[in-house]
Structures are given as C-alpha cells and as structure tokens.
Amino acid sequence: PIYSVCKVYTSMTTYELNFDPAVQAALQAGKAVVALESTVITHGLPYPQNVETAVLMEMAVRDGGALPATIGIIGGQIIVGLSQQQMDYLGRLAGEDTVRKCSRRDLPLVLAGGGDGSTTVAGTMIIAHLAGIGLFATGGIGGVHRGHPFDISADLMELGRTPVTVVCSGAKSILDLPATLEVLETQGVTILGYGTSELPAFYARSSGLPVDQQVDSPQEVAHIIDARHALHYESGMLVAAPVPEAHALTTDEAEAAIVQATREADEQGIHGSESTPWLLRRVVELTGGRSLKANVALLRNNGYVAAQVATAVAESS
C-alpha cells in the first residue's frame, strides 16, 4: 500500500511515521484504533505460525470493533499499520539476526542505520504514543527476571513514562512476578484486573497476587482512562486479562516447566535480551505445545478486549 507520511517534530529532529491510510483516517476521525507489537512475528513464534498469529490478532481487534495497527520498522522506516505482505517479510526472517528487537535504546540505531526492526512492548508504546494511539494489546509484558533482580525489562520503565494503556495477560510467568509488581508500583503504574481481582500469570489464569482494582466492562476501563487524562498523567496503565479458561495451564503445570527452563538457562549462561525468547521456546517443549496454544489464545483475547476498550474510549470522547 501507499503509506501516508506524518512528521513528528521535536526541538532536535524530525521523525517520520508511515501510516497505513486506513489507520490514519480512523485516528483523524476519532475512531477506535489498537496498536499491536511485531516482536511476536520475529522473536516469538516460528514461521509461518508467527504471521498467522499476527493476522489472527488483527482479526480479533476487528471483531472487537476497532482497527488494528501493527507497528514495525522496515528499511529504517517506522510503519504504523503493517500490511500482511510486510508482516510476512518480517516473519520469514524470524530466528535470524537481520531484524533487531527494538526497545527504547534500539529505535534510533535501526532508524539511523536503515535497518529492519520489530517493536517490543516498550518500543511499541513509544511509537503508538507518537502516532496518537492510546490502546495497545500484547501477550505479556517483560519484568524482573527470576534469580536476577537487576535484570529488569525496559517495559516496566516505559510504562512509568509513556501514557499508553496496555492490555495483556500480566507479565510473562517465566519472570519474578512479585518483584515485577513492586517495580510497577514504584513507577506509578495502575494495574486493573479485567474480570479478576488477581494478576493473571500468563499461561495460568491466576498468580495469587492482587491487582489495584477489578473492572468488569470496557466502559469501566474507559472511565479510568478519562480520569488519568484529566490528571495529565505521563505514565501508562495495565489492563490484565486472564488467558481463556479452555486454553489455560494449571498453575502447577506452568510453574514446573518454568522452573526447569529457568534452571537450564542459568546452566547454559543464557541471559539478557536472549533469555525471554529462549525460555518461552523451552517452556513450549516442556509442556508438549500446550503453552503455545495458551499463548495464541491469550493474544487473540487481549486484542478483542483492547478493541472493546478503545471503542468505549472513542464513544466517551
């Protein structure tokens, strides 16, 4: 497609956001748009399941009444609303080193170098905010790594500084969830449980950890978003939706696989940005593929919930 270029000016430089025309038209008309990340395409699942999942997530957003805008970088150009052809291009490069996984520190490197990049939770939040998109759906956010309390995902800091509402299934349960909650509290991030009073544990529906407040409808979330805007908050908010029950793992099953995978990662010296994709792949193997089915199910559900919230926000404006 022919993309519409929007320049975002700062005192130092100019950023070009290449919008899919339908996405830009929806934003200009005040309609519901939901941002989606692209690391699920390049670093989350193997080809072609990565692209198929991204397409299914976009379909879930449409089913919920909003327009999806999958964000990525191709040839040093930020794309807000990847086409299926562009998603397929990135998906075929999964597992290779040619696509950079872009968090805050990586974005300027890929843009300046004219490279290809997929956006993490943090990277997607930054670009969504620049594009004027307030809702973002993903699987699980990053957090504090188990046994490595100083290995903290940039996602948590981004949630403390960028006013985008993120619909997810909590933090990935391969992480230290209590420590992750402590960091989010310090960052001033409100955590809502969508239909639950406990933080979901990604593959499992509950972690036993409390959220700040339970909400049971898109309209409730929209009212809270409106209140945050009235206060001119610069931080983000989490809406934590449990994985659909039909595809959920039990807490014990998920924990056993995670403990084993974490031990093996430590033994092999896998750490930093490489640890999360490695751990997720190993958990898939240890659960006989059940964690992968749960991952796909929660991605689709989160896209649908985010779309309903985005629609409620648009209707309240």
Q: For residues 224 and 216, give the distance between their C-alpha atoms in angstroms, rounded to a whole number.
A: 12
**E strands within the chain?**
4-9, 14-19, 33-36, 67-74, 77-80, 99-102, 116-119, 135-137, 144-145, 148-152, 165-168, 190-194, 213-215, 237-240
Helix orientation angle between 49-63 and 84-92, rounded to the nearest 10 degrees: 150
Q: For residues 62 and 76, give the distance between their C-alpha atoms in angstroms, rounded to a whole number.
A: 28
DSSP category for residue 263: H
Whether cis (ω within 30° of 0) applies to the bond prior to 48 is yes
Paired tokens of 177: 């969830």
Q: For residues 25 and 29, give the distance between their C-alpha atoms in angstroms, rounded to a whole number.
A: 6
Nearest CA among 306, 283, 51, 312 for reference residue 168? 306
Q: Which residues are the active-site residues?
A: 37, 172
Q: Are the CB atoms for 196 and 277 separated by under 8 Å?
A: no
Across 101-136, b (16+ Cβ under 10 Å) vs e yields bbbbebbeebbeeebbbbbbbbbbbbbbbbbebbbb
